[in-house]
Amino acid sequence: MSNNKKIGFLAFFMAVTFTACKVSYSFTGASISPEVKTVSIDFFSINATLAPPSSGQLFTEALKDIFISQTNLVLVKSDGDLQFEGYISNYTNNPVAIQGNEQAALTRVTMTVKVKFTNSNDETQNFESNFSRFEDLASTEDLGSKEEEILNTINEQLTQDIFNKAVTNW
């Protein structure tokens, strides 16, 4: 067989092989089945006494944002192929890094979210888990004026953890 025929046969074989396989990939590391087209994210209510009133809305929007920005999924109000629901279960701010004068150098703001994830196309991926993250604030800074900034940082970390658990195979 001549080299031209070998190259032609190899090109034909590769074309048939690669068109027969459907591969889903993403630069974000997401591994979402091609059958999954939609995501629904319920409002995350607040079941934590000290949580600011805006924390549920801020978290819910942050979770929506990560799926809109890092996937091609369509956000729907309910019954998505991927479904998220839950609530803010704990919110604390505690002194940490006690110094010699018994003053705290930092205040640690911690938020925990209870998440129920349902993949309607693959039940083996379903989970119900708690996710918790914290951010430290210098005790000399006013928590009230920095709280939304702190919440945004915590939400960014929490939503990335949830995204990774739900749609990446790392």
What pLDDT score does 95 carry?
A: 85
Condensed to tens digits (0 to 9), the pLDDT of residues 140-156 reads 888 888 889 999 999 99
Condensed to tens digits (0 to 9), the pLDDT of residues 49-107 reads 999 999 999 999 999 999 999 999 999 999 999 999 999 999 999 888 666 666 667 88
The boundaries of the domain holding residue 140 are 3-167
What pLDDT score does 102 carry?
A: 66
Report pTM: 0.79
Residues 6 or more apart whose CB falls under 8 angstroms from that of 63 comprise 41, 44, 84, 155, 159, 162
- What the block records as the tokens of 86 is 């839950």
User: CA separation (Å) from 149 to 40, 43, 62, 70, 168?
Assistant: 26, 20, 13, 22, 27
- What the block records as the tokens of 84 is 């998220």
Count of domains observed in the chain: 1
Q: What is the mean pLDDT of the chain?
A: 84
Q: What is the CATH number of the domain that holds 68?
A: 3.30.160.150
Condensed to tens digits (0 to 9), the pLDDT of residues 10-20 reads 444 444 444 34
